[in-house]
Structure 1
Amino acid sequence: MIRVFTAERLVVKCKLAVFGDPIAHSKSPEIHRRFGDQFGLDVAYEKRRVKENEFESEVRQFFIDGGHGLSITVPHKWSAFQIADELSDEALLAGACNTLIASDEGFYGHNTDGIGLIDDLDRLGWSPTAKRILILGAGGAVAGCLGPLVARGPKEVVIANRSVGKLRRLVDRFDRGIRGISLTELDLQGAPFDLVINGISAGLSGSTGVELTDRIVNADGACYDLIYSTDDTPFLKMCGSLTDQRADGLGMLLAQAARQFELWTGFLPDPFDQFTDFGRPPDARSQLDV
């Protein structure tokens, strides 16, 4: 049984943390403290740099010391998956955990990345149902999103990746609705896609390594970058000449954090009232809306 720390039990501070390496850039402490403010909860949330060889011992000590819940970020999502005593369906499909909470059996591992993406797509009015969807990349971020995305009934999901072996392993986890191709085959897919999602982490360094054209992106379609940035991401800049419907991953970040907060406390906050705290308007899409 999961130990949810509801209001009656949160007479003391709700002790939360995020473990990762690097971790200095994380906005999670501010995000979760503001979630606590929505319900009058006193949230203590720290970010802690944890080395890979110390991860399990640090997790165990955190909960021994009275911790209520952990956010897990790179490079520890696979390690969290391995040490969890119970796993949600979302974590099993993703093969990774971004959330840990104490349970009667030990640790319960969950993954909120996918439902966070769906929550943000719903906010934007970009329902994946009956749509042709192209996903660039086959890494951990993409794996975390696939389960909830497929559950919404898209017409087709195509994943394009450089490494065919890695792509095949990811596609094999699912028994329906997903097809894998090489990045070199993008121009050979017939009709353009309704939604293109970028999960190539190289976008962080200024280059996606992919060229999109109007044969790939529908003129009425949308482009979504799982990465968020204080500037418009390279991927979204590239999409600027193809569609006006563009968004980065800030909404997903906020929405997946809200789902974590719900698991830990029993309360689901409104994630999107924090857009203004990031210098965005409440209905922000890409940085071009600022």
Structure 2
Amino acid sequence: MNRYAVFGQPIAHSLSPRIHAAFAAQFDIALDYRAIEAGRDTFAPALAAFTRDGGCGANVTLPLKEDAGALCAALSDRARRCGSVNTLVRVGDAWHGDSTDGAGLLHDLTRHGIEARDARVLLLGAGGAARAVAFALADAGARELFVANRTQARAQALADALDAPARARAWDTLQREPAFDLVVNATSAGHSGDAFVLPCAAIGATTACYDLSYGNAARAFLAAARAAGARVACDGLGMLVEQAAESFALWHGRHPHTTPVLAALRG
């Protein structure tokens, strides 16, 4: 049986094993997909042990997406550009890294009727997932992309790396910005359970708000977005399913149907 895994910390809550089991059932593929707890200090040895046990593919989540590339012999163009890896593919005796987060986000935005092309976008956060979706939004034709992060230097570094018109903004200056078309939360703030303080002036009646997280981790941001008057507020469960489908296709050469899997998770 082919062995796959998702690495991250914390990881016990991950829905990825359930998602990939559902995908595999669509094609009668037998696979062993499990969640493996690993932090930044333990990821390399954990991946090495997984490799020795016959691992042939893996997903990578917080806080490892920027570290994973260093363990790869080769990177896809999109992973190299954004400096983030969420999918590992075993090729011969080495790992190849790819990033499917951006594609997953764009597929889910389309599902919700949210357009990235010609949109004025505010991205909150500048970590591994933020970098992946920033490049995807730029490639999709975002008219303007503003990056805000608690650490201003990280926001500036991401804005400088993008080809599209991109600007870094200090968090406390967002109140002076006019309303955006799309606000994407890529911070990990929701995982702490604290209230999310949004720059309300940046959200108007035509603003779509999207959190890359889902479940409890997305509740604070979504509540703040609705209170600020956003026209729609979505969590990232659909993105999780869509990026998983892209990973599955890289491993198995077949793209699964995502709609029934997402419906089952929502149910």
For the criterion TM > 0.5, the same-fold answer is: yes
Runs of 4+ in structure 1 deviating by more than 6 angstroms, as ranges, are none
State the partner residue of 1:226: 212
Q: Offset at 1:279?
A: 3.4
1:203 matched to 2:190? The reply is yes
Counterparts of 1:97 and 1:136, CA distance in 2: 19
Matched length: 266
Q: Offset at 1:121?
A: 0.5
State the partner residue of 1:15: 3
CA contact (8 A) 1:197 1:225 kept: yes
Counterparts of 1:268 and 1:233, CA distance in 2: 30
Q: Offset at 1:25?
A: 1.1
1:107 to 76, 81, 95: 95
State the partner residue of 1:189: 177
Amino acid at match of 1:210: V
Amino acid at match of 1:203: G
State the partner residue of 2:44: 56
State the partner residue of 2:115: 127
Q: In structure 2, do the counterparts of structure 1 residues 70 and 231 end up closer, same or farther at CA, with 3 Å as the change threshold?
A: closer
1:97-143 per-position Cα deviation (integer Å, ceiling 9, x unaligned) = 11111124721001111111111001111120011111112222211
Q: Of the two, which has the highest radius of gyration? A: 1
SS across alignment from 1:168: helix
Q: Offset at 1:48?
A: 1.6
Amino acid at match of 1:73: T
SS across alignment from 1:40: coil
Q: In structure 2, do the counterparts of structure 1 residues 105 and 48 end up closer, same or farther at CA, with 3 Å as the change threshold?
A: closer
1:73 to 45, 57, 61: 61
Counterparts of 1:86 and 1:130, CA distance in 2: 33
Counterparts of 1:110 and 1:232, CA distance in 2: 25
SS across alignment from 2:248: helix
Amino acid at match of 2:17: P
Any gaps of 5 or more consecutive residues in structure 1?
A: 1-12, 281-290
State the partner residue of 1:288: none
CA contact (8 A) 2:65 2:129 kept: no
Counterparts of 1:220 and 1:83, CA distance in 2: 43
Percent identity, aligned pairs only, is: 37
Normalised to the residue count of structure 1, the TM-score between the two structures is 0.85
SS across alignment from 1:219: coil
Counterparts of 2:2 and 2:88, CA distance in 1: 14
Q: Offset at 1:96?
A: 2.2
State the partner residue of 1:276: 263
- Select between 84-93 and 62-71 the one with higher mean Cα deviation: 62-71
SS across alignment from 1:233: helix
Counterparts of 1:231 and 1:48, CA distance in 2: 20
Residues 140-289 of structure 1 aligned to structure 2 (within 5 Å): 140-190=128-178, 192-207=179-194, 209-213=196-200, 215-230=201-216, 233-241=219-227, 242-280=229-267
Amino acid at match of 1:195: L
1:93 to 81, 86, 92: 81
CA contact (8 A) 1:91 1:110 kept: yes
CA contact (8 A) 2:123 2:134 kept: no
State the partner residue of 1:37: 25
Counterparts of 2:174 and 2:75, CA distance in 1: 35
1:237-263 per-position Cα deviation (integer Å, ceiling 9, x unaligned) = 111131241100101111111111010
1:80-101 per-position Cα deviation (integer Å, ceiling 9, x unaligned) = 2101010012211221211111
Q: In structure 2, do the counterparts of structure 1 residues 231 and 100 end up closer, same or farther at CA, with 3 Å as the change threshold?
A: closer
Counterparts of 1:68 and 1:33, CA distance in 2: 16
Amino acid at match of 1:278: L
Normalised to the residue count of structure 2, the TM-score between the two structures is 0.92
